[in-house]
Structure 1
């Protein structure tokens, strides 16, 4: 939990878009991983195995009756990085918030590849293994997601 807790929480947040819910689901995922550990065969890294469980758990939650019938609030908070220049902090925070909101608007199949590629530094091959899809599908989704992000960010640019 100490090693992967924050990364797993961020992964879950990209699916559910709610901080408190992401924390609850992350706890459930760690319990699932603990219970399923005897079945871990070592064919992939422990992190990849846990990510597969987390992604499946998130997708199951998103398909669940509870999620379909109960509305939850969205928490889109983004931390400001330390900087000596207050103006630069404000600009940087605004850009980060804009990017985060735009990424969160992506359909889940694009959001998950963007997250794994840019925030977890997974290769296309590793993403294909984690998501149980073809590597070429990963590349296609990345290309389409980047194109969508580019279009959305250009539309919102300030003059």
Structure 2
């Protein structure tokens, strides 16, 4: 049983490790902190693996743990009182995903990454999950425990904020 659990967590880490790290980075904007939090997330995943009941996708369950861990960190005394030294850059995914090619390709553009990272967390979250992880508004709602309409509204507002920050040239048309 223990070997099965260890094999399962190893597979989960192999499959989702880089994606979780990128998701965490979009919240904390510091590579070292993101790496630490990612380790904590997988520890939580390991200790709570028995609670995964299969009613949602494994990725949705893992994202929920990751988002909660990030939000807890952002609310923590440590985050509010300790100044992070040396902001790191976001690691890029090797193969771009296919959703709205201009935006996905734009994630490789430093100007767009900078603009996304300046968004408030609730908008940064939906932009990342929608464009980079290719989740639907419904899936994002399940992960964030917000209604699908709330997600659609946040996505629309996030796009507006990005267009304003980038001088209106987010889309070709």
Which TM-score bucket, shorter chain as reference?
0.7 to 0.9
Which residue in 1 is equivalent to 2:144? Answer: 131
Alignment of 1:1-159 (within 5 A): 1-73=13-85, 74-77=87-90, 96-154=109-167
- Which stretches in structure 1 are left out of the alignment for 5+ residues? 82-91
Secondary structure of the structure 2 residue equivalent to 1:51 = helix
Q: Quote the Cα distance in structure 2 between the aligned partners of 1:77 and 1:105.
A: 13
Change (3 A) 1:151 1:8: same
TM-score by length of 1: 0.86
Task: Judge conservation of contact 2:22–2:91 (CA < 8 Å) in 1.
Answer: no
> Aligned partners of 1:26, 1:78: CA distance in 2, in Å?
14
Alpha-carbon distance, 1:68 to partner: 0.7
Deviation at 1:75, TM superposition (A): 1.4
Q: How far did residue 76 of structure 1 move?
A: 2.6
Alpha-carbon separation, structure 2, partners of 1:104 and 1:56? 19
Structure 1 segments of 4+ aligned residues over 6 angstroms from their partners = none
Query: Aligned pair count?
Result: 146
Could you say what secondary structure the match of 1:2 adopts?
helix
Quick check: 2:22–2:90 contact (8 Å CA) kept in 1? no
Q: CA deviation at 1:41?
A: 1.1
When normalised by structure 2's length, the TM-score is 0.79
* Partner Cα separation in structure 2 for residue 45 and residue 142 of structure 1: 22
